[in-house]
Amino acid sequence: MQENYTTEYTASDLLASADNTAAAETLQSADSGYNLDEPASLGEAAGIMGKGMLGVFVVIGVLILCIYALNSAGKKKKKKDEDNK
């Protein structure tokens, strides 16, 4: 999510310009929406805390559901194989 740019150029302008590391690094900062070479504000840091923990919980939650689904599918197949015997 791009919140603000630190320069007046757009990302594509920087890409179109000559290959140089400074442009690439500025682009990196612009793409992430944060200036990596400055401390985050306390509000930004708190936001990152919240989003980060939420993201981890969401991914883990989805994985838990996937594992339950896999285990359930495995049990059904086992029962089916036993019934066929």
Partner 1 sequence: MDIFGNVTELFTVLGGKQLIMWIIGAVLIILAIKKEMEPSLLLPMGFGTILVNLPNSGAIGEEGAIEVLFNMGIANELFPLILFIGIGAMIDFGPLLSNPKLMIFGAASQFGIFVAFFIATLAGFDIRDAASIAVIGAADGPTSIFVSQTLNSAYTGAIMVAAYSYMALVPVIQPPVIKLLTTRKERLIRMPYSQASVTKRTKILFPIFVTIIAGLVAPASVALVGFLMFGNLIRECGVLDNLSDTAQNVLANLITILLGLTVANQMRADSFLKWETILVILIGLCAFIFDTAGGVLFAKFLNLFLKQKINPMVGAAGISAFPMSSRVIHKMGQKEDNQNFLLMHAVAVNVSGQVASVIAGGMILNFFA
Q: Which two tokens stand for residue 65?
A: 């559901």
Nearest-approach distance from CB 78 to partner 1, in angstroms = 7
- Interaction between residue 82 and partner 1 (CB under 8 A): no
- Biggest CA–CA distance in the chain, Å, is 72
For residues 32 and 44, the answer to whether their CB atoms sit within 8 Å is no
CA 46, CA 33: separation in Å to the nearest integer? 16
* Interface with partner 1 in residues 10-49 (CB under 8 A): 28, 32, 34-40, 42, 44-46, 48-49
Q: Which residues bind partner 1 (CB under 8 A)?
A: 28, 32, 34-40, 42, 44-46, 48-49, 51-53, 55-64, 66-68, 70-71, 73-74, 77-78
